[in-house]
A and B are shown apart, each in its own frame.
Chain A
Amino acid sequence: MSPAPLVMLPRRRFLAGAAALGGLALGAPAIVRAQGSRPRIYMMLFRGWEDACDGFRDYLISRGLDVEMTIGNADREAGAVPGLVAAAKALRPDLVYIWGTNTAALALGPWDAPDPTPYLTDIPAVFNIVTEPVGNRIIPSLEHPGRNATGTLYVVPIDIQLRTIASYKPFKRLGIIYNPLERNSILTVDALKTELAKLGGELIESPVPIADGEPVAAGLSELVKRLKDDGADWLYIPPDTFLQQHRNLLTNSALQAGLPAFTSTEPYIRDSNALFGLVCRYYNIGQFTGRKAEQILREGAKPSELPVETLNRFSLLVNMRAANKLKLYPPMNMLRYAEAV
């Protein structure tokens, strides 16, 4: 335990600006005092510094773990990730923190890749805000990652999501809009089908149209309207990078169509107009990921043996603007533990 003062990191806003300005691999704004013995963490980000990173940092601070952080931001460009990998390899930190499914898939590669050279292999890594790490071939199993990387899950188990939707308003048909080009969206659709079959519900699939190999955002409101006409009781929004970029359009269209929207990711409710969701807070997930980092850095645990886990406490967020617009209010019992935004 080092008596050195805690690492003081600039706040998120400053970082976001800095990231926008500098693009790749910001040169360690976090370093307060260079110290040879302090563990170094390379923060490989996709959308700049946000809540999960705060949770991660705050956890390490609260545990008295004095670390030196270097930030690399892909700034929403998948093409930038290999550059970050190269930067990390050059820096040789004690741990790489990876944010997001795409980032993790590109930086770590498939666990059984025939040629692992382009990927991070010998530096320990923790990932978070990752959907379906097994389905996305990042690790072979949640219990035994088997490679030099572990992390956390942030999506609430599908069966719990469905039960929560039903307790807000019972449903028969669930409509889903997704980007068919994203692997984790396909995996979510499959999982939904399985769970709905158990409950006797029905899934109406509505993939986003593809033009020139790219999903088209323009037709989103049309898709929502069609789902409503097809008898969908709810719009289910999967964790999907493309939709995330167009979440305002998507959720506003749903409001206009009178279709309540459920999601398992926080920004749709907090920053857009999805009606409600059962989410893991990014901040809490970041803290939990910090715990994994602590186990690796301080307790000498091997990432390959640390299971990839989810939190078992979730937050129920209700967007009251949307509820008022839809005239669809949460039941009193749900309101007791819901957070209204």
Chain B
Amino acid sequence: MSGRNAKPDLRRRNVGAGFSRSLVTRLVTLSVVLMIAATAFISERSLNAVAREVQPEFNREASVVGGAIAGQIARALELGIPLDQLVGMDEFLDPVLAARSSFDYLILSDPAGRPLYARGTQIDRFRRAVADRAILFSAPEAALSADDGERAAQVTQFAGLFNTAIPISADGRVQAWLHIGVDASSLARLVSDTRWDVAIVLMVSLLTTIELMAFLVDRSLSTPLRLIEQLSAKVATGDWAVRVEVATHDETGRLLRGFNAIIRRVNDHWDRLSWKAAEVERANPRAAGRLRRIREAIGRHATFRSGRGTLERPAHSAAIARTPLFIYIFAEQLSTSFMPLYARQLYKPLWGVDQNLLIGLPITVFMAGIAFATPFGASLVRRHGPRRVFLMGALPAFLGYLMVAFADSLPALIFWRAITAVGYSMITISSQGYLAAIARQQQRTQSMAVFVSAVMTGTACGTAVGAVMADRLGYAATFLVAASLVLIAAGFVWVYMEEPKGDAAAGPVRAEAPPRGSLIQAMLNPRFAALILFAAIPAKIVLTGFIFYLAPLYLTSLALPQPAIGRTIMSYALVMIMTIGLSARLSDKLGWASQQIVWAGLVTGLGTVAILFLDPASAVLVAIMVYGLCQGLAAAPMLAIVPEICPEESRRLGAATLFGYLRLGERIGSMAGPFIAAGLIATVGYADAILSLGAISTVPAIIYAIIQRTARRPVAEAAS
């Protein structure tokens, strides 16, 4: 099970596969580099175009909207209302400001620029700019009618603002000016938002391409090359009684077919030779002895087939499970960045329960559904095989997304999320099962890494894309996309995946029902209990409570657009993709497993302190990225450390049972997260709730460290 044992075997395999591996790596790297370069170039060009096009558009909006307002004021003046006696200007101007976030102020000034009515924030700056003659507005030469203001608008830029001045003419002369201030930073924000959107699209298409390319390369390149290698190795030892299975119709498929043909020809020739030799023996008994000796001599170095020969088949490929798993996780995570928002939209007062608690329920119920359905999923995989269970699980998953899209109430949403959770657990456990089944025993850790990397890549891509989709198409349409992606993933499995056969069909780690009371037994080991209570559970509370539940609500309350919320939330997965690999190496090579867990807990909590120093949106981003960094580093050690801290229990109950308890603890944390966060928000508000959730990670980490330290000695003594 441990990674150290796996290495020698792996290296041996790598020597054999070295040729195709390095070819594929080079190919993929080259395409990725080219793709990044091309897309980055095009993106940059188009972003510059955006910046160029958007600025005049901003000012045009100011002059169009301002022209309409100026027209109404001009009408009032023409009706004989004196400029300084306009009534209800605040109520008149405020809705305009409220409707347009780019507008900073609306000021009605006399011809000299003295503000008579002003709404907005930077009015003092305007006054100063007028005093400094930094704003230009001069009466147009030709007389204007009341509706001509828009055409005569004059734009000046000063101190981070664009001032659009629109003349208001009544009775043939300019009697006043309407000034609209457009904040230049809102333009910058728009450009930077677009830049982020482009970067996200770039990253998602990159990761998706890598995922799909991995599959294609595996199917049409690595696998056939590996087969040819196997074949030539056999032929080189003189074994001509072989042929290979041909699965594709492309060039490599034709190459394999050619190999088969060559081997068949050699066998045919040998048959003909043998037949002719038999003829000669019959006709010339004297030559018989000599011929027999020759045949025996050839037979010592080569074997020929008697029938169709043995079939060389490609080994099951991890890519075949990885790709549909990636597609499915992508689909599921489309809704991560807005699930609480969707719930809040459907919320109606119910049973007198607090709103915050109720809208956390879809997450909690989903996590609970996974916790309950996973053991059944595992036993289904053992009975029916991963392929069938994946396909079975696609049904509740598909139905779940479909019905969630049409949910008209919160209870309906919660119910269908529970159904989706059943599909989720069946699909993930069957993928895990397939990967475990095709890997040899020593490679289980590796197959787990394939699983985790597909899940994290799907999470990062799905969350980001889902947010953009929800922003453009709406929540319901995004769920419909998820439903169709489930069908695509299922179709993929239907076409390409075969049930692993023979020994491999054993499926995922066979978990025999542990004896009664074994959970209590395991928890009596203080170090194991500490791992679950003070490391695994807090980590998941922060994940679901802070990242899945609090972050979308808080960021929405800060008026962040949905795509920005999506990329903030997905950042944890993005960071984890990078750190998870590192995590295993650190704990394996340096034996830092225990420290990694402690530091992960401590630093995760410290990340939330950013809320005291940074603006809220950036602070949430920092806290989430720190979470991804830390928990990525702690992921592998959490598993690796189990046999180390409870050697006795591992022997008695089996490591798999203990892993099961660890997962159970994590699921409890996942379920509790939204509740704890909702309670905190209701009592102390968002900012303090974030800090408190941080403390839920930091404080247990300290306790965990103390327990590991103090409890180590007696265990060590018992072991010696």
B481 within 8 A of A: no
Which of A324, A331, A334 is within 8 Å of B80, CB to CB?
A324
Q: How far is the CA of A340 from the CA of B80 in the complex (A)?
A: 11
Binary interface profile of B, 76-107, with partner A (CB < 8 Å = 1, else 0)?
A: 10011100011111011000000000000000
Assess the B91–A332 pair: CB atoms within 8 A. Answer: yes
Q: Could you tell me if B91 and A329 are in contact, using CB atoms closer than 8 angstroms? A: no
* Nearest neighbor of A334 in chain B, beta-carbon distance: B88
B21 interface contact, C-beta 8 A: no
| Cβ contact within 8 Å between B85 and A330 | no
In the complex, A327 Cα to B76 Cα: how many Å? 13
A320 to B87, CA, bound (A): 14
Q: Tell me if B232 is interfacial: C-beta within 8 Å of chain A.
A: no
Q: Is B80 within 8 A of A320, CB to CB? A: yes
Instruction: Check A329–B92 contact: CB distance below 8 A.
Output: no
User: In the bound complex, how far is the Cα of B88 from the Cα of A332, in angstroms?
Assistant: 6
Q: Does B75 contact A (CB under 8 A)?
A: yes
Q: How far is the CB of A336 from chain B (nearest CB, A)?
A: 6
Q: How far is the CA of A336 from the CA of B91 in the complex (A)?
A: 12
Interface residues of B in 109-149 (CB under 8 A from A): none
Q: Would you call B72 an interface residue if the criterion is a C-beta within 8 Å of the partner chain's C-beta atoms?
A: yes
Number of A-B contacts (CB under 8 A): 36
Query: Is A134 engaged at the interface, CB distance under 8 Å to the other chain?
Result: no
CA distance A245 to B92 in the complex (A): 38
A335 at the interface (CB under 8 A from B): yes
B91 touches A335 (CB 8 A): no
Q: How far is the CA of A327 from the CA of B72 in the complex (A)?
A: 19
Chain B 60-84: CB-based contact to A (< 8 A → 1; otherwise 0)? 0000000000001101100111000
Tell me if A333 counts as interface (CB < 8 A to partner B): yes
Could you say which residues of chain B place their CB within 8 Å of the CB of A336?
72
Chain A residues with CB below 8 A from B76, complex form: 329, 332, 335
A333 CA to B75 CA, complexed, in Å = 12
In angstroms, Cα B496 to Cα A230, docked, is 92
- Contact partner, B91, options A320, A330, A333, Cβ 8 Å: A333
Contact of A331 among B73, B75, B92 (CB under 8 A): B92
Closest chain B residue, CB of each to CB of A330: B87
Closest to B91 in A: A333
A329-B85 Cα distance, complex, nearest whole Å: 8
Q: Please count how many residues in chain A sit with their CB below 8 Å of the partner chain's CB atoms.
A: 13
> Do A332 and B92 have beta carbons less than 8 Å apart?
yes
Give the distance in Å from the alpha carbon of A329 to the alpha carbon of B81 in the complex. 7
Within 8 Å CB of A329, what residues of B?
76, 81, 85-87
Nearest chain A CB to B81 CB, angstrom units: 5
**Which of chain A's residues have a CB closer than 8 A to the CB of B72?**
332, 335-336
Task: Compute how far the CA of A51 lies from the CA of B88 in the bound complex, rounded to whole angstroms.
Answer: 34
A327 to B79, CA, bound (A): 13
The answer to whether A340 and B91 touch across the interface, beta carbons within 8 angstroms, is no
Chain A residue, CB-CB nearest to B92 = A332
| Measured CA separation A335–B86 after assembly (Å) | 10
Taking CB atoms and an 8 Å cut-off, the chain A residues in 300-331 that contact chain B are 320, 323-324, 327, 329-331
> How many Å from the CB of B80 to the closest CB on chain A?
5
Are A332's CB and B86's CB within 8 A? yes
CA distance A73 to B528 in the complex (A): 104
- When A320-B80, A324-B80 are in contact, do A335 and B85 touch as well, CB less than 8 Å? no
Chain A nearest CB, measured from B420 CB (Å): 47
User: Shortest Cβ distance from B108 into chain A, in angstroms?
Assistant: 10
Q: Could you tell me if A327 and B85 are in contact, using CB atoms closer than 8 angstroms?
A: yes
Nearest CB of chain A from residue B244's CB, rounded to whole Å: 81
Residues of B within 8 A of A330 (CB): 87
Please tell me if the beta carbons of A332 and B89 are within 8 angstroms of each other in the complex: yes
Over the window 406-440 of chain B, the binary record of Cβ atoms lying under 8 Å from chain A Cβ atoms (1 yes, 0 no) is 00000000000000000000000000000000000
> Do B75 and A335 touch (CB < 8 A)?
yes
| Closest beta carbon of chain B to A190's beta carbon, Å | 32
A333 touches B85 (CB 8 A): no
Q: Which residues of A contact B89 (CB under 8 A)?
A: 332
**Residues of A contacting B92 in the complex (Cβ-Cβ under 8 angstroms):** 331-333
- Chain B nearest CB: distance from A329 CB in Å? 5
Verify A340–B88 contact, CB threshold 8 A: no
Query: Nearest-CB distance from A169 to chain B (Å)?
Result: 9
Q: Per a CB cutoff under 8 Å, which of B73, B79, B88 touches A333?
A: B88
Least CB distance from A178 to B in Å reads 29
Give the interface centre of B80, B85, B89 by most chain A CB atoms within 10 Å: B80
Q: Which A residues between 225 and 243 are near B, CB-CB below 8 angstroms? A: none
**A333 CA / B89 CA spacing, docked (Å):** 8
Of the candidates B73, B79, B86, B87, the one whose C-beta lies within 8 Å of that of A340 is B79
**Complex Cα distance A340/B78, Å?**
11
- Residues on B with C-beta less than 8 A from A327 are 85
B87 to chain A, nearest CB (A): 4
In the complex, residue of chain B having the shortest beta-carbon distance to the beta carbon of A331: B88
In the complex formed, the residue of A with least CB distance to B87 is: A331
A329 to B83, CA, bound (A): 11
Closest to B75 in A: A335
Instruction: Note all chain B residues with C-beta closer than 8 A to A334.
Output: 88
The answer to whether B79 touches A320, judged by C-beta atoms less than 8 angstroms apart, is: yes
B293 CB to nearest A CB, Å: 115
**Which A-chain residue is minimally distant from B80 (CB atoms)?**
A324
Residue of B nearest to A327 (CB): B85
* Chain A residue nearest to B81 in the complex (CB): A329
Closest chain A residue, CB of each to CB of B89: A332
Q: Which residue of A lies closest to B69 (CB)?
A: A332
A151-182 vs B, Cβ < 8 Å mask (1 yes, 0 no) = 00000000000000000000000000000000
Please name all residues of chain B whose beta carbon is closer than 8 Å to the beta carbon of A332 when the two chains form the complex: 72-73, 76, 86-89, 91-92
Most buried by B among A323, A331, A332, A335: A332
In B670-687, which residues have CB < 8 Å from any A CB? none
Q: A324 vs B79: C-alpha distance in the bound complex, in angstroms?
A: 9
Q: Is the CB of A331 within 8 A of B91?
A: yes
Please report the C-alpha to C-alpha distance between residue A320 and residue B81 in the assembled complex, in whole angstroms: 9
List B contacts of A323 (CB < 8 A).
79-81
Residues of A within 8 Å of B85, CB to CB, are 327, 329
Write out the residue numbers on chain B whose beta carbons fall within 8 Å of the beta carbon of A320. Answer: 79-80
For the complex, what is the distance from the CA of A323 to the CA of B81, rounded to whole Å?
9
**Residues from chain A with Cβ under 8 Å of B79 in the complex:** 320, 323, 335, 340
A336 to B69, CA, bound (A): 10
- For the complex formed, measure the closest distance between the CB of A322 and the CB atoms of chain B, giving whole angstroms: 11
Residues of B within 8 A of A335 (CB): 72, 75-76, 79
Chain B residues with CB under 8 Å of A333's CB are 88, 91-92
Nearest opposing residue in chain B for A320, CB measure: B79
Within the complex, the shortest CB–CB distance from A233 to chain B, in Å, comes to 15
Complex Cα gap A334–B79 (Å):
14
Task: Give the nearest-CB partner of A321 in chain B.
Answer: B80
Query: Closest B-chain residue to A324, C-beta based?
Result: B80
Look across to chain B and name the residue whose beta carbon is closest to the beta carbon of A169: B87
A207 and B104 alpha carbons, distance in the complex (Å):
54
Distance of A329 Cα from B88 Cα, bound (Å): 10
Cα A324 to Cα B76 in complex, Å, equals: 12
Of A323, A329, A336, chain B has the most CB atoms within 10 Å of the CB of A329
- Determine the distance from Cα of A334 to Cα of B81 in the docked complex, in whole angstroms: 13
> How far is A323 from B86 in the complex, measured between Cα atoms in Å?
12
Which residue of B is nearest A335, CB measured?
Answer: B76
Instruction: For residue B85, give the distance in angstroms from its CB to the closest CB of chain A.
Output: 6
Within 8 A of A (CB), among B29-86: 72-73, 75-76, 79-81, 85-86
**A residues within 8 A CB of B86?**
329, 332
CA distance A57 to B81 in the complex (A): 38
Nearest first, the 9 A-B pairs at minimum CB distance are A331-B88, A332-B92, A331-B87, A329-B81, A332-B88, A320-B79, A329-B87, A340-B79, A324-B80
A residues with CB within 8 A of B? 320, 323-324, 327, 329-336, 340
Q: List 14 A-B contacts (CB under 8 A).
A: A320-B79, A323-B79, A329-B76, A329-B85, A329-B87, A330-B87, A331-B92, A332-B73, A332-B86, A332-B88, A332-B89, A332-B91, A336-B72, A340-B79
Q: A332-B76, A332-B86 are in contact. List 18 more A-B contacts (CB 8 A).
A: A320-B79, A320-B80, A323-B79, A323-B80, A327-B85, A329-B85, A329-B86, A329-B87, A331-B87, A331-B88, A331-B92, A332-B72, A333-B88, A333-B91, A333-B92, A335-B75, A335-B79, A336-B72
